[in-house]
């Protein structure tokens, strides 16, 4: 990170400028065998497309609230940074009834909860490679249809205020963009992360600890995250093999 980084979006821009080709987020679904690895460039491209979708197609404005009903997944990480890029408050597992936009995965309970949102509703299939739903849920826009055609670069209509609310977590006070950067940087130091560190995280994206380990602390340190929310499906030898093949330096389980 740079000394001038005040928001999570700033952290991503600095990383993109410094080392665009290195891996940033790797995702495993050990129930299906799926593995997706996104370089900084590829991740930033998804963030830009999603931010453009928010700003231009969904008419989201700074301060709007987005209920993010997604599990620990690489696309959840994309949405978190897209919200940070537009000034939209990402409300993880938040109440859709009080949100301007609701974003849900394919889980039937999450989709049903998201219907309480009176604003725009987006659904993600969470299928490999960001594939479409075979049949989009009624009342939802399919993210895999709407996002790919968006622009590869994003410029907000208004600068994002680092002191404005940016992230809401269950049972916790809202965090500003500046506070997110401060806490992520502190977490990276506490975990001993540095440039090139590879943090394997099995934590859910429903707390600061999960979001920090699975994205923000590695991003602040110049490292990368390996998300494996179904890690309990691996036996000890398979886990050791995973750590070796992915060059894991730190874990959060």
3-class SS letters over 153-195: CCCCCCCCCCCCEEEECCCCCCEEHHHHHHHHHHHHHHHCCCC
C-beta neighbour count of 138 within 10 angstroms: 8
- Contact status, residue 123 vs residue 104, Cβ threshold 8 Å: yes
Backbone angles phi, psi at 251, to 5 degrees: -135, 155
Which residues 6+ apart lie within 8 Å of 225 measured at CB?
A: 24, 25, 26, 77, 199, 201, 213, 214, 215, 218, 219
Question: The domain 8-252: what is its CATH number?
Answer: 3.40.50.12780
Q: Which residues pair with 66 in a beta bridge?
A: 90, 101
Confidence of residue 211 (pLDDT cuts 50, 70, 90): very high
Q: How many residues does the chain have?
A: 253
Tokens of 61: 């404005």
Cα 65 from Cα 87, distance rounded (Å): 9
Which residues 6+ apart lie within 8 Å of 109 measured at CB?
A: none
pLDDT value, residue 3: 66
pLDDT value, residue 30: 95
Backbone angles phi, psi at 219, to 5 degrees: -60, -45
Q: How does pLDDT run across 58-78, given as a tens digit for each residue?
A: 999 999 999 999 999 999 999
> Which letter does DSSP use for residue 172 in this model?
S
Q: How does pLDDT run across 176-199, given as a tens digit for each residue?
A: 999 999 999 999 999 999 999 999
pLDDT value, residue 104: 98
pLDDT at residue 253 above 70? yes
Q: How does pLDDT run across 148-159, given as a tens digit for each residue?
A: 999 999 999 999
pLDDT value, residue 214: 98
Cα 236 from Cα 35, distance rounded (Å): 19
- Write down the pTM of the prediction: 0.97
Tokens of 238: 């398979």
Integer Rg of the chain from CA: 17
Pairing of strands 141-142, 120-123: parallel
pLDDT value, residue 5: 86
Q: What is the mean pLDDT of residues 212-230?
A: 97
pLDDT value, residue 1: 64
pLDDT value, residue 130: 82
């Amino acid at each position: 990170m740079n000394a001038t980084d005040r928001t999570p979006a700033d952290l991503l821009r600095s990383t993109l400028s410094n080392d665009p080709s290195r891996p940033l987020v790797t995702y495993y679904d050990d129930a299906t065998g799926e593995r997706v690895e996104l370089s900084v460039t590829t991740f930033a491209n998804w963030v830009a497309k999603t931010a453009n979708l928010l700003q231009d197609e969904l008419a989201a404005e700074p301060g709007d609230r987005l209920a993010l009903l997604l599990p620990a997944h690489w696309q959840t990480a994309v949405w978190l940074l897209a919200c940070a890029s537009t000034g939209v408050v990402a409300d993880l597992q938040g109440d859709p009834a009080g949100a301007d936009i609701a974003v849900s995965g394919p889980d039937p309970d999450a989709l049903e909860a998201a219907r309480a949102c009176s604003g725009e509703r987006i659904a993600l299939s969470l299928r490999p490679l960001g594939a479409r739903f075979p049949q989009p849920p009624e009342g939802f826009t399919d993210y895999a249809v709407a996002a790919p055609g968006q622009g590869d670069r994003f410029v907000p209509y208004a600068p994002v205020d680092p002191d404005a609310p940016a992230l809401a977590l269950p049972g916790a006070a809202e965090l500003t963009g500046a506070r997110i950067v401060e806490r992520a940087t502190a977490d990276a130091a506490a975990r001993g992360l540095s440039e090139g560190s590879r943090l394997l995280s099995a934590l859910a994206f429903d707390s600061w600890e999960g979001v920090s380990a699975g994205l923000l602390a590695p991003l602040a340190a110049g490292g990368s995250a390996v998300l494996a929310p179904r890690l309990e499906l691996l036996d000890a030898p398979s886990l050791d093999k995973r750590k070796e093949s992915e060059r894991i330096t730190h874990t959060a389980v």
